[in-house]
Structures are given as structure tokens and as C-alpha cells.
Amino acid sequence: MADVSAPDFSVLDGKRVLLVISGGIAAYKCLELIRRLKERGVRVRAVLTDSAQQFVTPLSVAALSEEKVYTDLFSLTDESEMGHIRLSREADLVVVAPASADILARMAAGMANDLATTALLATDKPVMVVPAMNVMMWGNPATQANVRTLEQRGVRRLGPAAGDMACGEVGSGRMVEPAEILAAIAGFFAEGAAPKPLAGRRAVVTSGPTHEPIDPVRYIANRSSGKQGHAVAAALAALGADVTLISGPVTLADPPGVRVVRVETAAEMLAASLAAVQTPAGPADIAVCAAAVADWRVATAAGDKVKKGPDGPPTLALAENPDILATLSQPGPRRPRLVVGFAAETRDVLTYAAAKLAKKGCDWIVANDVATGTGTFGGDDNQVHLLRRDAAPEAWPRLSKTAVAQRLAQAIADTFDPSATATSEAV
């Protein structure tokens, strides 16, 4: 969720905001938001959906914004003068407020069936959504799934707030007040203006499972969804790192601002990791091995599908896969300054994680319990311990995987002195 602490509003002067207003009684609050933005030097262009025009008129929005208001995707005049591509990209930030359940669903699905959703799909600028809807609509699993999808793609969310609603019900679903939205927008621009603690640092992150073929149809794999590793890559990039994500087979969208290399097997992941870490420009500063790499592979995969036979299931001869974390942790001039591993355990989590930290030669281990019933594999939350060399384990509370990633990225940033060089000794 976006930070709504009061920043320096001077960062707003000269900024450009595209405000997408969707249908809902909360649309009236956008008139106050436009006024406040204009007072602080923001140029506001607005797009109104058909539903939004049932609550506020283009004339009132135009009077306050002092700009043409856009409503029709197929207006030939608007397309010749502006065009939805230019409209979506000639802004520093796109804000959807109120963001109804309908527009959130259409954004998550990648639809482009009106001007608002077409502009949102075509934009290359950051997007912030400010949800507003009935409490039951907000709590519906479909809406929550859509919000998670958008957040995984880098969309920022502000609210909703809890309280009385126009429909007479009470609960979460109220659009936050214009002052809070204004503060969040200012906070976004202040964040962008602030120095990034990992600027100039290079990071390599592994994520997801590996698939080790038995034959062209079957494979050996772990249950990893890649959500935690992808979130770590996004969090490091948000702090300014140049991030390469080595991803096994997942169904997730690529994190924003991250270079992605897709692999299938452990051998491919090792080769890609070494290529990303050991470049002619020198070693990467950070390596985070969050992937759930299969420990074993079939020694000789069949070229054709293995068929059932009268003698029962075939015997599979297994071979050990390369140890990516141990390989990247080996001492030498090409070792990243900080190497972080993950330990997915089902019992005695701290004991096994401490042993892994000692054995692999890495600097940190992030230990998480993936036992049946925890919901860690494939879920959206995680509870971890951070183990560092010569330090007591840190027990973190149960957090979303995004929050775990942000906390880990900040801990990584805190280990790098701004005056340190990329070739400093391992911490």
C-alpha cells in the first residue's frame, strides 16, 4: 500500500497526472482532489468512464482542471489531436480514483474496451489505484485476486478506508479522502526524487522451481510459485539496483524494471546465474538465491514418452543437481559481495537453516517453514527468520511476501556503505 505520510508538497510543482475517474458515488471527491493538485502546480488531465459521468460531469471536471476532459475512445478529433497513446504517456503518474471493482477487474484482465482501460493498458508510467466500492464487493475473492494481480505487476494501491458507506453498510470500501490521496501522490514523487540506496549496485535473483525432465512429458519439480523470489527482485529494483532475475517456470508477470532470464532446469539456472554474476565488468554486488531448485534430476532423460509396461513403473536413476548457492558463494574475486540463500524446511527450521548457512558458504539465509498447512508454497504470505553469520537469528512476523521482500531489500541496502566499492570483501 502506498505511503500516505505528509511529504514536502513542493515536489508536485510542474508534475503531470492523468486522473482516471471510474463509476461510483465517490467520484465527487475527485473534484476536490483536482482542486488541491492544481493549487500545488500539478497539471491534471482527466479521463471519465461512461459510469463516472453518471456521478460527475465532464464540464465540472474541465472547469476545475482547466484541461480538456477525455471520454470517448473513438473520437476522431481527440485521436488526431491527442490519441490514447500520447494521453497515457504524457503524464508522470496515472491515478485511478475512484477505482471501482469493475475497472480493477478489467485492468487485471488486460482489457481495453473503453478509453480508460485502453490508456491504462498502453501506459508506460507508474499507476496508482484508489479503490472504492461496497464492502462485500471489496471482500469478494475475485476482487482480492484482481488486486493481488495488479500489485504483483507494480501497481500501487491506496486504501480503501473503513467506515460508513453511501449504500448504508459499514466496513472497508470507502475511498480515502482527497488530502490522503494528495499526500500519497506527493510521497510518490518525493520517493522518486530521493537517492536510491542501491543505485549503481548489480543484483542477481533466482526464483521459482526448476523442471527436470523424465521424458518429454513428465518432470521432477518443487512446488515453488516464484512469488517470493519475484517480489525480492522487484524490491531490490525499487531501491535502485540493476536486477537480473533468473526465473524457472512460473505463471507470474515479470516484475517492473527487472531484466528476466527464463530457464527450465537447474543446469540452465546455474549457467544463467554465473553469466549474470560473473560479467566482464566485474562480479555482481548481490546474489539472492530464492529459487526452489530440484535437488535431483534423472540421470538420463528418455527421448520419448516412457510407456506403461507389464513390469510396472520404471526405475529412475537419479543424479544430483549442481548446487547454485554453494557455487555462487565460493571465495574468489568473482564472488558477489553479499550472497543470500533461502532455506525451505518442514521441521526444525532454524537448525537446518543454520547448518545450511555453515555448509554453503553464503552470508545470509532466509529460513521459512513450508510444512503442509502453512500455505507458504503458492500462498501470498510468508514467515521467515533471517540468519546472518556471527549474529543471532532474527524472527520476522508473518507478512505478505511483498513485505518480506521489501524488508529483506532494505536489510541488504543497509549493509552497503554508500562509499563502498562493488569489489569490497564479502560481508
Which residues are known to be catalytic? Answer: 167
121 has binding-site annotation: no
Q: 403 CB contacts (<8 Å, ≥6 apart)?
A: none
* Distances from the Cα of 145 to the Cα of 36, 151, 152, 172, 175, angstroms: 32, 10, 11, 16, 19
15 has binding-site annotation: no
Give the gyration radius of the chain's Cα atoms.
25
68 has binding-site annotation: no
308 has binding-site annotation: no
Handedness of CA 408, 414, 418, 421 (dihedral sign): negative
102 has binding-site annotation: no
Q: 303 CB contacts (<8 Å, ≥6 apart)?
A: 215, 216
342 has binding-site annotation: yes
Q: Which helix (H) or strand (E) holds 116?
A: helix 115-122
92 has binding-site annotation: no
The DSSP-derived string for 243-304 is EEEEE-S--PPPPTT-EEEE-SSHHHHHHHHHHHHEETTEE-SEEEE--B--SEEESS--SS
Distance CA 206, CA 341 (A): 10
Distance CA 110, CA 252 (A): 14
CA 186 to chain centre: 21
| Amino acid (1-letter code) at residue 117 | T
Q: At what angle do helices 101-109 and 115-122 cross, to 10 degrees?
A: 40
295 has binding-site annotation: yes
CB of 386 closer than 8 Å to CB of 393: yes
Distance CA 248, CA 152 (A): 17
Q: What angle do CA 225, 226, 230 make, to 5 degrees?
A: 150
324 has binding-site annotation: yes
Distance CA 350, CA 359 (A): 14
Q: Annotated binding site, which residues? A: 295, 305, 322-325, 342, 356, 360
Q: Annotated binding site for CTP, which residues? A: 295, 305, 322-325, 342, 356, 360
